[in-house]
Amino acid sequence: MAQPSEASQDLELRPGTGRGVAGYFRVAQTVAGTWWLIDPAGRPCFLRAVNEVCGADGSPHDPVARLRTWGFNALGAGAGVTLREEGLPWVGTVDFCSTGELIHLAGARLPDVYDPEWPKAAANRAGEVCLPWCERRELIGWVTDDNPGWAQPGPAGRPALLQICLSLEPKFAAYHAAWEFVLALHGGQLEAMAKAWGHPAIKNKEVVRELTRTEQGITSRGYLRDDARWSQEFARRYFALAAAAIRAHDPHHLVLGCRFGSRPGAAVLAQCALPAVDVPCVDLDDLALVPAGPVLVGDFTWVDPRFFGAPGARRVRGLTAVERMLRRGRTVLERSARQPAVVGYAWKHWQDGPGEQPPFARGLVHLNEAEAREHTELLTDINARLPALRPSAVPFSL
C-alpha cells in the first residue's frame, strides 16, 4: 500500500486544503485547482456510489457484485449494515432526527436544536452509531440525517421553516427561539412584524399557528427575507452541533452534511460547509450555491422531468422521452465530473419505488430483482469514463 505522504507529493496538493485524516478517506485540492477524494492508501478516486443498497432475502443476486459489474465503487447512504463487510467503501448515517425532540410539522422534519438537552442527546447518538466504526478505514464518512425536511419556500405556497417554528407548541425550545429571533428583527413589536410581512391580520401568535394548521404559507417578500435569516441560523446550529457530536467520537472520518433528498435552498446550503461539514452532498442543480470547496452530487437520477421532459424550442426534437432522458443524463453526469469541485456522485435509489414502471422507474434493480438494464448499461459505460474526465486527471483507484 502506498504511503499517504508519498501519494500526496505525487498529487501536488495545495497546502492547507486537506480535509480529513491521512490513512482514512480524505479530500484535498491539487495545485491545479481540482479536488479529489483520496483513499486510505493515498490514491485519488472519483466516488461512484448507490444509495439504499440492500439484498433481498433468498435472492440469488449479490448486490455488491452487481455494483462492481456496473462500475460503482462504494455503498451510498442507507445501505444495509450487513453489506459493510463485503469490501466496498461505504457512507454511514447517524440519524440525529431519531434523538431528542423532533420538529415534525407541515413538511419540516428536524431535531429541535435549540433544546438545551439536544447537544447531549446528539453526543449520545453519535457515540452509539459512530464510535464502533471510528477505526474502520473502508468508512468514507458520515451523513447526519437521511432526508430531513428543511421546509424551504417553494411554488406550492406551503408554510416554510420560520412560520413552522413560530407555530410549534410552547414545549419546543425552537418555538421560543423563533419568536425571540423574529421580534428582534422588528423592534420587539408584533404589529411591526405583521406590517413588514404584509399580513396586518396577524394580531397575535395564534393567527400564525392557524395559518400553518391550514397549510397557508406566508409568501411575502418581507417574510421570505426573515425566513432566510432564520433558516440560515437554524442550519448553522444544526450542522455545528451535529458535526461536533460526530467528531467527539470519530475524529478520523469525513462529515458529509445530511442527505437532503430535495433542494434545501441557499440559506441552508450556506451553512452546510466548513468548519462543520467537510464535503456536502447536494443536488446537481445546487452546485453553484455551495461555498467553495469539494462537493458530492447526492441523490442523482435521470428519471426526472428535467431529463425526460418535452424539449424546448432550441433542443433536439424527434427523440422519445427515454432517448431524451438517457442522452441528457449522460451529458449532465459527464459534465459534473469535469467540475473541479465535484469528487463523486451517488445514484438515488437501488430499487424501484412502489408503483414505478420501467423505463421510468428510478432503481437499478426492479422489484422482481431483475437488473434495470435501461439504466445499468449506460451507467456502466459512464462510470468507466468519469475519472478520466476530471480536470488534470491522474491515475485513480477503486
> In this structure, is residue 220 part of a structural domain?
no
> In this structure, is residue 176 part of a structural domain?
no
> In this structure, is residue 119 part of a structural domain?
yes
> In this structure, is residue 246 part of a structural domain?
yes
What is the pLDDT at residue 318?
79
User: Among 69-78, 182-191, 284-293, where is mean pLDDT lowest?
Assistant: 284-293
> In this structure, is residue 83 part of a structural domain?
yes
pLDDT tens digit sequence for 194-230: 999 999 999 999 999 999 999 999 999 999 999 999 9
Residue 1 pLDDT greater than 80, yes or no: no
> In this structure, is residue 206 part of a structural domain?
no
What is the pLDDT at residue 72?
98
| CA–CA separation, 276 and 24 (whole Å) | 18
Q: Which residues pair with 91 in a beta bridge?
A: 141
pLDDT tens digit sequence for 114-151: 999 999 999 999 999 999 999 999 999 999 999 999 99
What is the pLDDT at residue 24?
98
pLDDT tens digit sequence for 26-78: 999 999 999 999 999 999 999 999 999 998 877 889 999 999 999 999 999 99
> In this structure, is residue 219 part of a structural domain?
no
Q: Which distant-in-sequence residues (6+ apart) come within 8 Å of 80 by Cβ?
A: 53, 54, 55
The CA-based dihedral angle spanning residues 242, 127, 248, 263, taken in that order and rounded to the nearest 10 degrees: -20
262 secondary structure, DSSP code = S
Q: How many CB atoms lie within 10 A of CB 169?
A: 8
| CA–CA separation, 261 and 394 (whole Å) | 31
Cis before residue 275, ω within 30 degrees of 0? Answer: yes
Domain span at 125: 4-152+233-389
What is the CATH number for 284?
3.20.20.80
pLDDT tens digit sequence for 159-173: 999 999 999 999 999
Predicted model pTM: 0.92
What is the pLDDT at residue 6?
28
Average pLDDT over residues 289-310: 92
pLDDT tens digit sequence for 338-376: 999 999 999 999 999 999 999 999 999 999 999 999 999
Residue 250 and residue 130 in contact, taking contact as beta carbons nearer than 8 Å? yes
Count of structural domains, the chain: 1
Q: In this structure, which amino acid lies at residue 341?
A: A
Residue 98 pLDDT greater than 70, yes or no: yes
Positions of E strands within the chain: 19-20, 26-29, 35-38, 44-45, 47-50, 74-75, 90-93, 102-105, 108-111, 139-143, 149-150, 254-255, 281-282, 295-300, 342-347
The DSSP line for 101-158 is: -EEEETTEEEE-TTSTTHHHHHHHHHHHHTGGGTT-TTEEEEES-BS-EE----TT--
Residue 231 pLDDT greater than 90, yes or no: yes
Please, is 327 exposed, middle or buried when counting C-beta atoms within 10 Å of its C-beta (0-12, 13-18, 19+)?
middle
What is the pLDDT at residue 365?
96
Q: How confident is the model at residue 315 (pLDDT cuts 50, 70, 90)?
A: low
> In this structure, is residue 120 part of a structural domain?
yes
Collapsed DSSP state (helix, strand, coil) of residue 331: helix
